[in-house]
């Protein structure tokens, strides 16, 4: 039985099947995404054929919107201010992902199979991509948050940007070579992909600016949701019309919102928070419906070679990049494993080859290998990502904690000053540059220094917590500075200052302020081993890892647990 003539019934079946299968596999500790893909395979043309090809095509507008929404969510993690301390990790990862992974796949394909160089080049380029929808869904499902998740989400966005650029190089080289029967010009191969990146960036940032301007006077949630939906649809639609990647354009739209209005969560992908689970269920179930087991036969051994070479490349690139960047151990050991899922971008690139007449000679085999690889990576990948998230120790950490305001971008590990005033002044400047609260620099600095003159804020054992009053805002903000050698200030216990935390507290949070000071004092005083690691941390990521780890629950506790205790 097929439901092609009843699109609403088809959509209802897909939604229910996706939600139920996701809940079912979660009971056996598998990601919901995996169950949804299996549900799609089951009800699709490959098995029960409840919804055929026509029904799948009829749902493409919904899946394209879902892809755009997911791309905006991924781009929203590219806040340049917040990622300032992560730039070394991301640069190394981008370099290695854009070289090591495609080189391994290219060499493996050329050695194992008798195929053309352009076929291997296209497969190698496609291997760089990571499925943003899968990663976003798994992070939300796991309620994960921390250095590992921040690195992972930014890496997914950068991976897909790099994948599109490299694929365009391979696509241009293949197209020009097929048309002229000569090697393509280096200019065309290198410039055309970056033109597409530039156009996608301009379109995404332009649409982001228009959305921000259009919503300045809007306050009702329904109006903000309508404006956000229109912006995503226009961005994806105009990108398709211009012949550039709609995924890339939406990614830049999310990036624009993250950098131009970082404190405005009521526009963009967040307005669909109540519907995300339904959108993801439909998207992944439809993705499973499009995967056809008939592709396994013509693809054969080549699919296994591509999957293994890509898996080795992802794990090696992630591990080596994080080692070179001196990232925390949990990031080093798990990042590459989390980047295995492959869909969305990869499927779009496969279809792009099918639409190119000059590549007709390789399109059938490329479709077989490409789609089968994606199918298996979307079954295996989510399981590996779920394992990586669990091993990172950040699952269930998205709940509010006492000193959550100390993120990676708020930490300095090179604080050096000859006087306490100089150190406080530097921390005040860093606070103003990294928080989304309007602060009168001179007034705030004066309030901190006056309080310091009244009574020393050195709490002992190398820790000082200077603080001032905020005129605006309703949340405590703060920054931390670490000095490994120790700053020789006048302190009550005669110990040099290794760690200085500057707090900005609004009047409404005075009680919480005292809890925070007590928590910071306990963080330094309760365990000499933690204190030594904190004072000798070489990167903000290591400091964050210490403050927000599971072992830190004794001082950095979950606020809802404290309120019910």
**pLDDT tens-digit profile of 367-386?**
788 878 887 888 888 889 99
Q: How confident is the model at residue 561 (pLDDT cuts 50, 70, 90)?
A: very low
For range 40-47, the mean pLDDT: 84
Side-chain-side CA neighbours of 18 within 13 Å: the count stands at 24
b/e 367-377 (16+ beta carbons within 10 angstroms → b): bbbbbbbbbbb
Lowest mean pLDDT among 156-160, 180-184, 265-269, 469-473: 180-184
pLDDT at 400: 60
Q: What pLDDT sits at residue 562?
A: 44
Residue with the two structure tokens 């050096």:
416
Confidence band, pLDDT 50/70/90 cuts, at residue 203:
very high
What is the C-alpha separation between 469 and 548, in angstroms, rounded?
25
Mean of the pLDDT values across residues 448-457? 84
- Four-way CATH pick for 408-564: 3.40.50.300, 3.40.930.10, 3.40.120.10, 3.40.50.10860: 3.40.930.10
List, for residues 326-367, the tens digit of each pLDDT value.
888 889 999 999 999 987 677 767 767 766 777 777 777 887
pLDDT band with cut points at 50, 70 and 90 for residue 564: very low
- Predicted confidence at residue 205, as pLDDT, reads 93
Name the residue ranges covered by the structural domains of the chain: 7-392, 408-564
**What DSSP designation does 487 have?**
E
DSSP readout, 452-467?
HHHS--EEETTEE--E
What the block records as the tokens of 121 is 């080049």
- Over the stretch 410-442, which tens digit does the pLDDT of each residue have? 888 888 888 888 999 999 999 888 887 778 888
Split at pLDDT 50, 70, 90, the class of 542 is: confident
Look at residues 281, 260, 385, 407 and name the one whose alpha carbon lies nearest to residue 335: 385
Helices assigned H by DSSP within 325-440: 329-338, 345-354, 360-392, 420-434
Three-state SS at 266: coil
Band of pLDDT at residue 156, cut at 50, 70 and 90: confident
Evaluate whether 145 touches 407 at the Cβ level (below 8 Å): no
Residue 208 has pLDDT above 70, yes or no: yes
7-392 sits in which CATH class?
A: mainly alpha
78 touches 254 (CB < 8 A): yes
- The answer on pLDDT for 132 being more than 90 is no
Contact, 470 vs 506, CB < 8 A?
yes
Cβ neighbour number for residue 363 with a 10 Å cutoff: 18
**Residue 264, CA distances (Å) to 220, 260, 478, 531 in order:** 14, 9, 20, 36
Cα-only R_g, the chain: 26
| Strand bridging mode 477-487 / 411-412 | parallel
Mean pLDDT taken over the chain: 81
What pLDDT, in 10s, does the model give residues 64-121? 788 788 778 778 777 777 777 778 888 999 999 999 999 999 999 999 888 888 889 8
Are 90 and 324 a contacting pair, CB within 8 Å? no
In this prediction, residue 110 carries a pLDDT of 92
């Amino acid at each position: 039985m097929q439901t092609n003539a009843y699109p609403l019934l088809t959509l209802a079946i897909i939604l229910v099947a996706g939600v139920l299968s996701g809940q079912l596999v979660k009971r056996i500790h598998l990601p919901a995404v995996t169950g949804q893909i299996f549900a799609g395979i089951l009800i699709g043309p490959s098995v029960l054929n409840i919804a055929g090809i026509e029904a799948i095509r009829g749902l493409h507008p919904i899946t394209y919107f879902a892809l755009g929404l997911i791309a905006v969510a991924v781009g929203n993690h590219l806040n340049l201010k917040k990622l300032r301390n992560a730039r070394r990790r991301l640069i190394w990862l981008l370099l290695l992902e854009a070289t090591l992974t495609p080189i391994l796949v290219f060499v493996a394909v050329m050695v194992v199979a008798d195929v053309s160089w352009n076929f291997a080049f296209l497969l190698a380029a496609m291997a760089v991509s990571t499925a943003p929808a899968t990663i976003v869904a798994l992070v939300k499902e796991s309620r994960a948050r921390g250095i590992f998740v921040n690195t992972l989400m930014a890496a997914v966005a950068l991976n897909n940007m790099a994948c599109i650029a490299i694929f365009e190089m391979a696509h241009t080289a293949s197209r020009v070579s097929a048309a002229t029967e000569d090697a393509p010009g280096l200019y065309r191969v290198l410039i055309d992909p970056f033109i597409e990146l530039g156009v996608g960036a301009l379109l995404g940032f332009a649409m982001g600016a228009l959305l921000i301007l259009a919503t300045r006077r809007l306050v009702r949630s329904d109006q903000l949701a309508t404006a956000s939906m229109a912006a995503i649809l226009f961005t994806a639609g105009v990108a398709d019309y211009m012949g550039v990647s709609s995924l890339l354009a939406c990614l830049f739209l999310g990036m624009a919102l993250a950098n131009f209005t970082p404190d405005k969560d009521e526009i963009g992908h967040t307005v669909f928070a109540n519907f995300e689970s339904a959108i993801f269920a439909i998207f992944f179930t439809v993705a499973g419906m499009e995967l056809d087991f008939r592709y396994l036969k013509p693809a054969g051994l080549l699919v296994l070679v591509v999957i293994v070479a890509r898996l080795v490349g992802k794990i090696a690139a992630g591990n080596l990049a994080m080692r070179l960047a001196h990232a925390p151990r949990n990031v080093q050991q798990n990042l590459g494993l989390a980047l295995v899922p492959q869909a969305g971008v990869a499927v779009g690139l496969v279809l792009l080859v099918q639409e190119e007449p000059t590549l007709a000679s390789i399109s059938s085999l490329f479709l077989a290998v490409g789609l089968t690889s994606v199918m298996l990576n979307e079954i295996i990948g989510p399981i590996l990502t779920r394992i990586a998230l669990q091993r990172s120790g950040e699952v269930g950490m998205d709940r509010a904690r006492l000193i959550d305001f100390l993120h990676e971008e708020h930490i300095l590990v090179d604080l050096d000053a000859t006087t306490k005033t100089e150190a406080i002044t530097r921390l005040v400047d860093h606070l103003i540059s990294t928080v989304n609260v309007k602060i009168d620099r001179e007034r705030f600095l004066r309030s901190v220094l006056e309080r310091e003159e009244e009574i020393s804020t050195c709490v002992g054992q190398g820790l000082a917590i200077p603080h001032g009053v905020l005129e605006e805002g309703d949340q405590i903000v703060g920054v931390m500075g670490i000095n490994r050698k120790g700053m020789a200030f006048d302190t009550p216990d005669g110990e040099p200052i290794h760690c200085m935390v500057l707090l900005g507290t609004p009047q409404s949070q005075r009680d919480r302020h005292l809890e925070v000071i007590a928590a910071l004092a306990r963080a330094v005083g309760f365990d000499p081993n933690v204190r030594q690691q904190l004072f000798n941390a070489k990167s903000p990521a290591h400091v964050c890892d210490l403050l927000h780890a599971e072992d830190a629950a004794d001082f950095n506790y979950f606020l809802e647990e404290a309120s019910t205790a």
